[in-house]
Amino acid sequence: MKLDLNAKYCLILIDIIRSSKLNEETREILFADLGKRLEDLNRNLSPAPVLKLSINYGDEIAGLFSTPVSFYSIVENLRRLFPGKKSFRFVACTGKIGFMSEDITQVGGEVFKHAGELMAQLKKTNHFVNGPLKILFSTRL
């Protein structure tokens, strides 16, 4: 799908809390498994992401969609990979992109700015999802 600078997109941004504190071996295994899970999700999501769910900036996962999808199901699917091991925080918002690129880290724009602001608020207040999935996320849809 070709990106359109005038269209609004939906972004999900997921942060794996304290993953940088894992030892190197555990982190390698965890992120290899996570990469495989993201590949499966990208193949099976409907509608498919405009820019696939991928690991960015070390321990964040981002995906861009043309329409709202079941973000809860994405997070819940990823959480099954880490039962009782890790917590997540995530935001979902809509907005325009700033640059057309196949690399999600290069796209930018208001949707990423809003998501970054919301994620910073969650980190500042130390909100996260642990245990049964609860509404402990911010959204600007």
User: With pLDDT > 70 as the criterion, what percentage of the chain qualifies?
Assistant: 85
Strand 8-16 relative to strand 88-96, pairing: antiparallel
Residue 85: the pLDDT is 58
Please state whether the peptide bond connecting residue 47 to the residue before it is cis, i.e. omega within 30 degrees of 0.
yes
pLDDT at 8: 93
- Regions in the chain scoring below 50 on pLDDT: 130-141
Query: What pLDDT was estimated at residue 139?
Result: 39
Instruction: Quote the pLDDT of residue 51.
Output: 95
Say which residues have a Cβ less than 8 Å from residue 41's Cβ, sequence separation at least 6.
53, 74, 77, 78
CATH superfamily of 8-140: Nucleotide cyclase, GGDEF domain (3.30.70.1230)
Which of helix, strand or coil describes residue 21? helix
Q: Where are the domains of the chain?
A: 8-140
How many whole angstroms separate alpha carbon 88 and alpha carbon 14?
7
